Amino acid sequence: MWGGRFAEGPSAIMREINASIPFDKALWRQDIMASKAHVAMLGAQGIVSGEDMAAISAGLDQVAAEYEANGVPENWDLEDIHMTTESRLAELIGPAAGRLHTARSRNDQVATDFRLWVREACANAEAGLTALQRALVTRAGEHAASIMPGFTHLQTAQPVTLGHHLMAYVEMAARDVSRFAAARARMDQCPLGAAALAGTGFPIDRAMTATALGFAEPTRNSLDSVSDRDFALDYLMAASQCALHLSRLAEEFIIWASQPFGFVVLPDALSTGSSIMPQKKNPDAAELVRGHAGRIIGSLTSLMITMKGLPLAYSKDMQDDKPPVFEAAGLLTLCLAAMEGMVAGATFRTERMRAAAELGYATATDLADWLVRQANIPFREAHHITGAAVKAAEAKGAALDQLSLAELQAIDARIDDRVFAALSVEASVAARASYGGTSPDQVRARVAEARGRLGME
């Protein structure tokens, strides 16, 4: 490839450190696609003959068929997927294959191939998130009125519904979808034709290749075109945020599946046993989703550090851009599928959830709110009165609504028997009817909206 400049070939060490074919062979479909678009443009512009254009295009189709059937061969002397494909093309059609690289460089070639791959990875993530949202919305609709404890600091705070809790993750996933969509929009420019760094003297039509590859337009600066990896970082940033959300959901399933909680029974297909303890049912899939978040975030950090000090334009460091993106994309796909299956297949033990909601004085805020509304007491004073009532209930070992009227009036005489209608967990969730609140009616309304957005009607 570059032997005319060098008297000797590369050493074994150079050969090994320089070769990227073990990982960039994953770009073979994109490489074939971009090469076909490029040679079609070269033919249309009269830069190569129609005969050579047809031979190259047909040869590329044959190479693609071989890769599809047998995989991409790894000859490290050829370094990468680009030279591997060009070498095989030359074996098939002869010297005409050498015309394919007219008016392009491996710099704009790899920038184009990688951008095509990442664009598809964004679309795949959006599809996976949509499937997860649909599973969450379906289960939320089933449990719009199923009462569970809501937590802050992992301490019982106020009763909520399971449907409301699940819909919180629908909102998180929707923001994740928007991040991947925004990343795709920002990368909607085609680098092909930027050549090594300065453009080319051939009369190419960059708009033609951009359109053929599904981009909105060509990139506007040749230096930026070959040195930009923002699109890969955008993907990894979106993937990292998505992984954080998946990890939080996984953590909740892990906690809920533990015996002290007992809120959920996870699907057998996404659980494992113990080699020594026959009673165990371990939430390994959820734990791996939680663990994989660290690896995905690590991939982002890796590429950011690689790119942070590079001058324009291309540097060989940028060969290390692909492994972290490929790893993160593979892990994210698995995590999304695992959490979709977990949500869809989980058995929620709503009786345990409701019982837990009645513990921990979850309706204490409802007592304070009742004192504000019905007795016209300032909230801070009502907060103090409610604290005293909780203390009395603790001493008795009873729930708030199990205190007698006399016991409540001993704390504050302004309390009357109307208070008991506000102290049940059902009354508590029903009262939270503000927009976006946990009342069953609000949850059902949000579920209906989400079903419409997700095309579930």
Q: Is 153 a catalytic residue?
A: yes
Instruction: Find out whether the peptide bond into 313 is cis, omega within 30 degrees of 0.
Output: yes
Concatenated DSSP letters for 2-49? -GGG-SSPPPHHHHHHH--HHHHGGGHHHHHHHHHHHHHHHHHTTSS-
Whether residue 451 contacts residue 457, with contact meaning beta carbons closer than 8 Å, is answered with yes
Query: CA 137 → CA 132, 143, 164, 444, 453, distances in Å?
Result: 9, 10, 10, 10, 11
Q: Is 274 a catalytic residue?
A: yes
Give CA–CA dist 298/251, Å, rounded: 19
Strands 147-152 and 347-348 turn out to be unpaired
Concatenated DSSP letters for 59-86? HHHHHHHHHHHH-----GGG-SHHHHHH
Helices marked H in 106-201: 106-142, 162-186
Give CA–CA dist 313/198, Å, rounded: 10
Residue 367 in tokens = 């007592």
Query: CA 178 → CA 242, 317, 343, distances in Å?
Result: 11, 30, 22
Give CA–CA dist 76/101, Å, rounded: 20
Give CA–CA dist 142/97, Å, rounded: 61
Count of positions (residues) in the chain: 457
Environment class of residue 113 by beta-carbon count within 10 Å: exposed (0-12), middle (13-18) or buried (19+)? buried
Phi/psi for 197 (5° steps) reads -170, -20
Among candidate residues 318, 338, 170, 327, the one with its CA nearest the CA of residue 236: 327
Q: Among 11, 178, 258, 274, which one carries the catalytic annotation?
A: 274
Give CA–CA dist 296/315, Å, rounded: 24
Identify the DSSP state of 119: H
Sign of CA dihedral 31, 36, 39, 40: negative
Strands 147-152 and 155-161 turn out to be antiparallel
**Which residues have a catalytic role annotated?**
153, 274
